[in-house]
Structure 1
Amino acid sequence: MTRNRDIPALSAEAAAFARSLIIHEDKSVLGFNKPSGLASQGGGGVGQSLDDLLWAFARSNGKRPRLVHRLDLGTSGVIIAARTQPAAAFLSEAFAGRDAKKTYLALVKGTFSPTDEGVIDAPLVKVEEGGRPRMILARPGRKGAQAARTGWRVLAREGNFALLQLAPETGRMHQIRVHLMSLGCPILGDALYGEGQATGARVMLHAARLEVPHPDGGTLVLEAPPPEDFQIAAARCGLQSGLK
């Protein structure tokens, strides 16, 4: 939480937009369906971010919600924020301890396993290329390498295209995108690890479901249907049946 700070001016339009993204609200947690193109956090030349929009939910004393995890700029879907410091600490520990179960949908192109499901277990390491950070598969013993595991399942296939359901067991930067590239089937629209706009207007990755322990007890389960652009892209690839 941000304490005892002046609340930055947020236009009525921006506040209304922030509230339009809400899919869950209680005294401890806010859940949002983040659109593609909205950054989770600011910095690096980013304009307005979801983090900025959280000022729409600030208290009169300047305390406001805090994001406890992030989604890439191009990724759409479920993301949550904590409304109190105890909730933020609890949820951050849940994500760090891998108690949060995340489910993504991705549209991919390429040649991959004829089987319908599997697990990618491939450590990753961050590198700088042209001043831009990215992740690569790490050789055995590589300094700075981090364990990374992603479960995958094919929901639909059509030629060289497929709709995949993904369950990352770890939360490394760009993990799903790099792992799918390593399988030979990068995500449509991924300019960093795939063919970019030759295959899609944006990274066709959607955070469809999040299951996480709730700070006040029990389990919080949030879902967000794929946005229209994702559904249209799936239909163009002949994969719409997998979204049903």
Structure 2
Amino acid sequence: MSQSVRAAQASYIVLPETVTDKPTVLSFLVSHFSAIAQTTWVERIENGKVHWRDGELITLESEFVPRARVYYYREVQQESIIPFEEKVLLQNEQIIIAFKPHFLAVNPSGNFVNECLVNRLRIKTANEQIVASHRLDRATAGLMLLSLNADTRHDYHQLFKTGKITKTYQAIAKLSDDLISQVTANTLTLPTHWTVKNRLVKAEPSFMMKVGTGEANSHSEISLVEVNNGLGLFELTPVTGRTHQLRVHMMSLGMPILNDRLYPKLLDKAADDFDKPLKLMAKRLAFTDPLTGEQVDISCDGFLL
């Protein structure tokens, strides 16, 4: 652990046009980031840690300018080191496809400012333009596509926005009682498949999701492909990309993913247990490169059951 860690890369926020009651940048930052004390923002500004896009320092009196970018450096008192390495599987002039290990955040978040995939790859490649093209939970391992070039970033982001990329996951979960009975009776046929469509809405606390009523806004295709000693190995293809979709859909089948600390029950916050990672992995990405027309189909090593 290290004390008072500052992010190596600046974060930024665009000052919104809809805000009209904040005369200074400071007053906006204090209002917008309610979890950060005003004294912290004052200290950051006085120490030259907040600036405009061109590098000019923001002062305590700097006026609020709609649509302007304000850059700042996230800080935490302590940052844990994640003892697992990422691995680059493909790299060209436009993109990197990398394996992200369990517990490593994609971007700075929570108590992690430098221990994240984007920062590690920026250091390795000496390219500060690296940006993730999609999301992957810190708890989930697997393949990430990252953009290296700001000029072509939109092309790769659109693959996910328009559904022109295939993402295949693996998960391990305890079998339901019904499936265990079929295994015992030697009547289970593999693969066994489920199509899961339902409406996902925010739960309490707000970072969690639950199945609600109304028209479906989520869709996953899930197959049980292997069983061993009461556990099942599943292949999952999310057709939509809702937050925690696969975790909630597995729970809705009565088979929450092994070592899930959120579903079906939110466990108390605790230090990472590196011996018990969430058994969920983004195993495969397949798409047509929007610039070259090349077929890209990359997989990483999956789970052993």
Alignment pair present for 1:124 and 2:200: yes
* TM-superposition CA deviations, 1:23-76 (whole Å, max 9, x none): 1001111010111111111122224111222322344xxx51110012111211
Q: Which secondary structure state, in structure 1, belongs to the residue aligned with residue 247 of structure 2?
A: helix
Residues 110 and 23 of structure 1: is their aligned pair in 2 closer, same or farther, counting only changes over 3 Å?
same
Supply the distance in 2 between the matched residues of 1:215 and 1:225 (Cα, whole angstroms): 26
2:213 aligned partner, one-letter code: R
Q: Which secondary structure state, in structure 2, belongs to the residue aligned with residue 31 of structure 1?
A: strand
Who is 2:282 aligned against?
207
Of residues 244, 254, 257, the one that matches 1:174 is 244
Q: Which secondary structure state, in structure 2, belongs to the residue aligned with residue 98 of structure 1?
A: coil
Of residues 151, 154, 179, the one that matches 2:221 is 151
Q: Which secondary structure state, in structure 2, belongs to the residue aligned with residue 85 of structure 1?
A: coil
- C-alpha deviation, 1:172, in angstroms: 0.9
- C-alpha deviation, 1:161, in angstroms: 1.7
Alignment pair present for 1:160 and 2:226: no
Supply the distance in 2 between the matched residues of 1:4 and 1:34 (Cα, whole angstroms): 32
Alpha-carbon contact 2:129-2:150 (below 8 Å) kept: no
Q: Which secondary structure state, in structure 2, belongs to the residue aligned with residue 208 of structure 1?
A: strand
Supply the distance in 2 between the matched residues of 1:194 and 1:126 (Cα, whole angstroms): 14
Supply the distance in 2 between the matched residues of 1:211 and 1:35 (Cα, whole angstroms): 20
Supply the distance in 2 between the matched residues of 1:25 and 1:158 (Cα, whole angstroms): 37
Alignment pair present for 1:34 and 2:100: yes
1:190 aligned partner, one-letter code: D
1:162 aligned partner, one-letter code: G
Who is 2:294 aligned against?
218
Supply the distance in 2 between the matched residues of 1:118 and 1:127 (Cα, whole angstroms): 24
**TM-score normalised by the chain length of structure 2:** 0.61
Q: Which secondary structure state, in structure 2, belongs to the residue aligned with residue 91 of structure 1?
A: helix
Alpha-carbon contact 1:151-1:169 (below 8 Å) kept: yes
**TM-score normalised by the chain length of structure 1:** 0.76
Supply the distance in 1 between the matched residues of 2:169 and 2:147 (Cα, whole angstroms): 22
Alpha-carbon contact 1:54-1:66 (below 8 Å) kept: no
Question: Which of 1 and 2 has higher RCO (CA within 8 Å, sep 6+)?
Answer: 1
Supply the distance in 1 between the matched residues of 2:136 and 2:168 (Cα, whole angstroms): 13
Residues 4 and 52 of structure 1: is their aligned pair in 2 closer, same or farther, counting only changes over 3 Å?
farther
Residues 214 and 187 of structure 1: is their aligned pair in 2 closer, same or farther, counting only changes over 3 Å?
same
Of residues 115, 118, 127, the one that matches 1:51 is 118
Q: Which secondary structure state, in structure 1, belongs to the residue aligned with residue 135 of structure 2?
A: coil
Alignment pair present for 1:73 and 2:138: yes
2:285 aligned partner, one-letter code: L
1:127 aligned partner, one-letter code: A
Residues 67 and 126 of structure 1: is their aligned pair in 2 closer, same or farther, counting only changes over 3 Å?
same
Alpha-carbon contact 2:247-2:263 (below 8 Å) kept: yes
Supply the distance in 2 between the matched residues of 1:91 and 1:4 (Cα, whole angstroms): 27
Supply the distance in 1 between the matched residues of 2:136 and 2:260 (Cα, whole angstroms): 14
Identical positions, percent: 27
Alpha-carbon contact 1:58-1:64 (below 8 Å) kept: no
1:148 aligned partner, one-letter code: S
CA RMSD in angstroms comes to 2.9
Supply the distance in 1 between the matched residues of 2:158 and 2:144 (Cα, whole angstroms): 16
1:173 aligned partner, one-letter code: T
**Greater gyration radius:** 2
Supply the distance in 2 between the matched residues of 1:39 and 1:223 (Cα, whole angstroms): 20
Supply the distance in 2 between the matched residues of 1:117 and 1:154 (Cα, whole angstroms): 6
Supply the distance in 2 between the matched residues of 1:118 and 1:181 (Cα, whole angstroms): 13
Residues 86 and 126 of structure 1: is their aligned pair in 2 closer, same or farther, counting only changes over 3 Å?
farther
Supply the distance in 2 between the matched residues of 1:168 and 1:222 (Cα, whole angstroms): 17
